[in-house]
């Protein structure tokens, strides 16, 4: 398949979704989107993504979808997980499952979650800035409807919110079995976050603690 056509087809698929799936935020076609997809999806993985559902599928089901890949499909999917384009989960006693991630929550954010500067984030940042201006910003407010809304229930609700004491919050965190922390993608995807070294004194004041996070 022609390389440009491959990524254009992938862009259309990521924008419209697969049968039986609902995508809250799509990925409208634009020149910057194609460049983003070329970075996130190596050509072989882009071909897999074209048929990968947005709903969970077991490894056995996916082997039926990609019979030509045989047992190698698991290795390819695990590589896509590392690239932040595929989600995987495996519950005790069950088979591993995979699904293609949409733009939000998905590959628009995953490269920036670690908060670390690398070749991929530096390359992606300027393209994301252009893409927001070209098409993605409008997609986030498609039809005048924001991604998140407050829905009135037409009845009074008692506000039971309170500020938890530090000790109580510490106990809650310590009692959880799994925790994850991610950096805010909009801030990390700004091109000026990745200025050329050496970093200036002004740069360090603007981003306190940045060196410690990326060491």
Q: Taking the complete model, does pTM exceed 0.75, yes or no?
A: no
CATH code, domain with 102: 1.10.10
Structural domain count of the chain: 1
**Nearest-5° angle of CA 29, CA 31, CA 32?**
95
Does the residue 180 lie in any domain? no
The domain containing residue 7 runs over which residues?
A: 3-140
Does the residue 166 lie in any domain? no
pLDDT in tens, 42-83: 999 999 999 999 999 999 999 999 999 999 999 999 999 999
Does the residue 43 lie in any domain? yes
Please give the Cα distance from 2 to 46 (Å, whole number): 12
Does the residue 25 lie in any domain? yes
Nearest to 11, CA basis, from 42, 46, 48, 45: 46
* Residue 116 confidence (pLDDT): 84
**Nearest-5° angle of CA 96, CA 97, CA 99?**
150
Does the residue 11 lie in any domain? yes
Does the residue 46 lie in any domain? yes
pLDDT in tens, 83-114: 999 999 999 999 999 999 999 989 999 999 88
> Where are the strands (E) in 24-114, listed by range?
57-58, 86-89, 97-100
Does the residue 151 lie in any domain? no
Please give the Cα distance from 102 to 86 (Å, whole number): 9
Does the residue 212 lie in any domain? no
* Residue 50 confidence (pLDDT): 96
pLDDT band at 176 (very low <50, low <70, confident <90, very high): confident
């Amino acid at each position: 398949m022609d390389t440009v056509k491959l990524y254009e087809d992938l862009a259309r698929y990521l924008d419209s979704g697969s049968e039986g799936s609902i995508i809250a935020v799509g990925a409208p076609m634009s020149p910057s989107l194609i460049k983003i997809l070329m970075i996130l999806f190596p050509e072989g993985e882009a071909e897999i993504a074209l048929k990968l559902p947005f709903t969970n599928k077991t490894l056995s089901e996916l082997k039926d979808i990609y019979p030509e890949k045989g047992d190698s499909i698991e290795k390819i999917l695990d590589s896509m997980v590392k690239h932040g384009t595929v989600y995987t989960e495996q519950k005790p006693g069950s088979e591993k499952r995979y699904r293609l991630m949409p733009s939000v929550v998905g590959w628009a954010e995953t490269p920036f979650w670690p908060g670390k500067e690398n070749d991929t984030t530096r390359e992606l940042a300027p393209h994301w800035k252009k893409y927001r201006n070209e098409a993605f910003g409008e997609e986030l407010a498609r039809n005048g409807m924001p991604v998140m809304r407050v829905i009135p229930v037409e009845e009074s609700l008692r506000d039971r919110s309170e500020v938890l004491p530090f000790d109580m919050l510490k106990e809650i965190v310590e009692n959880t079995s799994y925790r994850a922390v991610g950096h805010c993608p909009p801030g990390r995807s700004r091109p000026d976050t990745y200025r050329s070294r050496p970093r200036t004194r002004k740069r360090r004041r603007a981003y306190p603690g940045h060196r410690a996070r990326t060491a």
